[in-house]
Structure 1
């Protein structure tokens, strides 16, 4: 039986490739005769460059850029067929912060990566959004590309999201490269589902900080509107702490990260060959149902009349909700291991052990 193994990354524990290999290793223990098709996935967040390099080939470049808290970090980006694939989390990711401070963190390094791609002669940059530790509305990226953000005295404002409340004027740069924003979410910039209120707490913002960030982004939206770029209600503007808004203001096309990766990794061709699909991520929760990779794999499987299983670190989605997006059954690594702590002690081993048990239930080689 051909089994498609197509997971996303598992939070900060396993990359998508590591997760796919762990699932495959466990499955083979129980069902060695099955043919496994590995297609690790990413929706624009962490793992975007690694996954696309594995699927497309191309040349991986490294650059020293400004990290989210101002310290230098090494970021990798992919060049393939005239296009740069940039993973914003490599420059401003939450995992790069030894202290979570969304009020002062910056996307400046993302702009430096775009500039590096431009200087290398590429004509297009696809920027994957997700996993950021920032809430600066993309203002840092705009400055790195030659733009200016000033207060009412004409002086530059500070680097963080809270400083945006002092913004009065933005001078947008001529980027010189076609931009595409590949987002894992469609959240707007402001409001209940916006960058500050939805994602700020995950980045360390307490309720007071969330309101300061919301105020800063509200001012930023007005400044961008005055500059001729009204992105306040644009889908995806709230992605990566409002980095989506900054990209849209620079003329970026917005696209679904999961749909893009689905195409570039030839996921549908693999689904055509499979008789069972397995996907997964760190937490299978309500956000997983909002256009993320699990729904792309499940929908593709449902279209072909094959079952789709989810192996996740933790599962909080009910069976009915999962079934509505095409997921036949979901399994939690933490539950199988006995606790979250046990699963985290050996993420790859715990995931492999779960996969071995699931293979016993689902592989035709084992009587299903």
Structure 2
């Protein structure tokens, strides 16, 4: 029997690569005669570069960029031919900020611009930027500054979203000229606009630590930027991705592409699915959001198109059988239910391997 293992990260515990290794180890332990194929996945958020490097090879360039609160932080750039892959969360990710220090109002995307500049200087003609997992809400103003955009008052673009209320003028022409002749793709499955009730601040701000009373003025600050540059573009699908980073990328010519589909195409998941008998995927929390452009739903669709059963291994399973079937998932198994929350968090790889072995007893035809 041949099994495809294509999980997302288990947020806070395992990367997608580590999760795939753990599931494979557990499966082999129970069904050693089965052949397992590991294809770690990402939807454009954390793990984007690692997943692509595992599938495509290429050259990893180690860099030091400016983190969301101005600190130096390590990041990597993946170069495959004349294409560069950038993971925005490496420069502005929520996981870079300790919980007590989370202030999305002053966090900046400047480091994302530094990564893009590095890609340009490395000779890239096509740059794919994975969006997701950000701890920022500055409409990509910091990124624009790193690319050469100017504004009045000087320095305001690097000071986070709230500071944009002070903005009186902005010129993004230097940033556009810096990227002239380069194809930019913003990989994200978020289709929210920049502003309003469905915008970056209202929908994602609270998840990053924006307090309720700060939401209206922060949204107004982002609207001030949009009004000075291109208010119509702020209504575009995906402009609100990564705290508005999607909007800034569109300002400099980027096209939005679905994050999960970008990965599915890059790792040739559909081709792999046709050669196996069973597809396994997983993530930390299998819930209602999993149906909205996340890895689990994307993998399940590929499995369905190949007429292969899809099974989910998750930290927690928070959907019922009906919702699973709608997503194309035959069955789902919870790590917390199997080993308890303490073991799931304290020994995630071992626990996930144990769960995979248990699933193999049910699903492997070799036993």
TM-score, normalization: structure 1?
Answer: 0.94
Query: Equivalent of 1:144, from 143, 146, 154?
Result: 146
- Indicate yes or no: 2:189 matched with 1:175: no
- Indicate yes or no: 2:224 matched with 1:219: yes
Aligned pairs for 1:207-246 (under 5 A) are 207-225=212-230, 230-246=232-248
Q: How far did residue 63 of structure 1 move?
A: 1.2
Contact 1:107 1:139 (8 Å CA) reproduced: yes
Q: How far did residue 157 of structure 1 move?
A: 5.2
Q: Measured at CA, do residues 165 and 333 of structure 1 come closer, stay the same or move farther in structure 2, by a change above 3 Å?
A: same
What is the SS of the residue equivalent to 1:130? coil
Q: Measured at CA, do residues 164 and 38 of structure 1 come closer, stay the same or move farther in structure 2, by a change above 3 Å?
A: same
**Structure 2 match to 1:81:** 81
What is the SS of the residue equivalent to 1:280? strand
**Structure 2 match to 1:350:** 351
What number of residue pairs does the alignment pair up?
360
Contact 2:142 2:157 (8 Å CA) reproduced: no
Where does structure 1 lack aligned partners over 5 or more consecutive residues? none
Distance 1:321 1:315 in 2: 11
Distance 1:233 1:358 in 2: 45
What is the SS of the residue equivalent to 1:160? coil
Query: Equivalent of 1:251, from 228, 241, 253?
Result: 253
Distance 2:290 2:225 in 1: 29
Distance 1:155 1:220 in 2: 14
1:225-275 residue CA offsets vs partner (Å, 9 max, x unmatched): 16xxx3222111111111011101111011011101101101011101111
Q: Measured at CA, do residues 319 and 220 of structure 1 come closer, stay the same or move farther in structure 2, by a change above 3 Å?
A: farther
**Structure 1 match to 2:92:** 92
Contact 2:108 2:158 (8 Å CA) reproduced: no
Query: Equivalent of 1:125, from 124, 127, 131?
Result: 127
**Structure 2 match to 1:31:** 31
Query: Equivalent of 1:197, from 202, 210, 214?
Result: 202
**Structure 1 match to 2:295:** 293
**Structure 1 match to 2:111:** 109
What is the SS of the residue equivalent to 2:60? strand
**Structure 2 match to 1:302:** 304
Distance 1:216 1:321 in 2: 39
Distance 1:7 1:149 in 2: 43
Q: How far did residue 20 of structure 1 move?
A: 0.2
Q: How far did residue 221 of structure 1 move?
A: 2.3
**Structure 1 match to 2:50:** 50
**Structure 2 match to 1:315:** 317
Distance 2:48 2:344 in 1: 24
Q: How far did residue 43 of structure 1 move?
A: 1.3
Q: How far did residue 12 of structure 1 move?
A: 2.0
Distance 2:92 2:70 in 1: 10
Contact 1:11 1:281 (8 Å CA) reproduced: yes
What is the SS of the residue equivalent to 1:189? coil
Contact 1:139 1:149 (8 Å CA) reproduced: no
For the aligned residues, what is the CA RMSD? 1.4
Contact 1:185 1:292 (8 Å CA) reproduced: no
Contact 2:2 2:34 (8 Å CA) reproduced: yes
Contact 2:141 2:157 (8 Å CA) reproduced: no
Distance 1:157 1:300 in 2: 41
1:79-131 residue CA offsets vs partner (Å, 9 max, x unmatched): 11101100001111111112211010000000001001111111121110011
**Structure 1 match to 2:264:** 262
Q: Measured at CA, do residues 157 and 112 of structure 1 come closer, stay the same or move farther in structure 2, by a change above 3 Å?
A: closer
Contact 2:287 2:317 (8 Å CA) reproduced: yes
